[in-house]
Amino acid sequence: LSKEIDRALATLTERERDIIKLFFGIGIQEMTLEEIGEQFGLTRERVRQIKEKAIRRLRHTSRSRLLKSYLG
Protein backbone atom coordinates (compact mmCIF):
# COMPACT_ATOMS: atom_id res chain seq x y z
CA LEU A 1 0.00 0.00 0.00
CA SER A 2 2.85 2.39 0.81
CA LYS A 3 4.33 2.10 -2.68
CA GLU A 4 0.90 2.62 -4.24
CA ILE A 5 0.31 5.71 -2.12
CA ASP A 6 3.72 7.15 -3.04
CA ARG A 7 3.12 6.44 -6.73
CA ALA A 8 -0.32 8.08 -6.61
CA LEU A 9 0.91 11.11 -4.66
CA ALA A 10 3.63 11.63 -7.27
CA THR A 11 0.87 12.55 -9.76
CA LEU A 12 -0.10 15.59 -7.67
CA THR A 13 1.43 19.05 -7.52
CA GLU A 14 3.85 19.64 -4.67
CA ARG A 15 1.29 21.74 -2.76
CA GLU A 16 -1.48 19.15 -3.24
CA ARG A 17 0.88 16.39 -2.13
CA ASP A 18 1.95 18.32 0.98
CA ILE A 19 -1.64 19.12 1.96
CA ILE A 20 -2.77 15.50 1.53
CA LYS A 21 0.19 14.22 3.57
CA LEU A 22 -0.43 16.73 6.35
CA PHE A 23 -4.19 16.23 6.46
CA PHE A 24 -4.07 12.42 6.51
CA GLY A 25 -0.87 12.19 8.57
CA ILE A 26 1.17 10.34 5.95
CA GLY A 27 4.67 10.23 7.40
CA ILE A 28 3.88 13.14 9.72
CA GLN A 29 1.44 14.19 12.46
CA GLU A 30 -2.11 14.82 11.18
CA MET A 31 -3.11 18.46 10.97
CA THR A 32 -6.47 20.20 10.71
CA LEU A 33 -7.43 22.27 7.68
CA GLU A 34 -6.93 25.38 9.78
CA GLU A 35 -3.43 24.33 10.91
CA ILE A 36 -2.43 23.54 7.33
CA GLY A 37 -3.82 26.89 6.23
CA GLU A 38 -1.69 28.70 8.78
CA GLN A 39 1.41 26.87 7.57
CA PHE A 40 0.76 27.69 3.89
CA GLY A 41 -0.73 31.15 4.40
CA LEU A 42 -4.12 29.99 3.07
CA THR A 43 -7.64 30.03 4.45
CA ARG A 44 -9.14 26.85 5.84
CA GLU A 45 -11.63 26.86 2.97
CA ARG A 46 -8.89 27.13 0.32
CA VAL A 47 -7.02 24.22 1.91
CA ARG A 48 -10.25 22.19 1.82
CA GLN A 49 -10.70 22.99 -1.86
CA ILE A 50 -7.13 21.94 -2.69
CA LYS A 51 -7.54 18.74 -0.66
CA GLU A 52 -10.78 17.82 -2.42
CA LYS A 53 -9.29 18.52 -5.85
CA ALA A 54 -6.27 16.36 -5.01
CA ILE A 55 -8.50 13.49 -3.86
CA ARG A 56 -10.51 13.72 -7.09
CA ARG A 57 -7.26 13.58 -9.08
CA LEU A 58 -6.06 10.58 -7.07
CA ARG A 59 -9.31 8.74 -7.71
CA HIS A 60 -9.09 9.50 -11.42
CA THR A 61 -5.41 8.71 -12.02
CA SER A 62 -4.94 5.68 -9.80
CA ARG A 63 -5.09 2.28 -11.45
CA SER A 64 -4.74 0.46 -8.13
CA ARG A 65 -7.85 -1.29 -6.83
CA LEU A 66 -6.43 -1.20 -3.33
CA LEU A 67 -5.86 2.55 -3.41
CA LYS A 68 -9.26 3.18 -5.00
CA SER A 69 -10.97 1.19 -2.24
CA TYR A 70 -9.00 3.16 0.35
CA LEU A 71 -10.12 6.50 -1.14
CA GLY A 72 -13.71 5.40 -1.67
**What are the structural domains, with CATH classification, of the chain?**
2-71 (1.10.10.10)
Distance CA 46, CA 61 (A): 22
Instruction: Please tell me the predicted confidence (pLDDT) of residue 70.
Output: 63
Distance CA 55, CA 71 (A): 8
Instruction: Please tell me the predicted confidence (pLDDT) of residue 4.
Output: 77
Q: Using one digit for the tens of pLDDT, what is the confidence trace for 28-70? A: 999 999 999 999 999 999 999 999 999 988 887 655 555 666 6
Distance CA 42, CA 9 (A): 21
pTM over 0.85: no
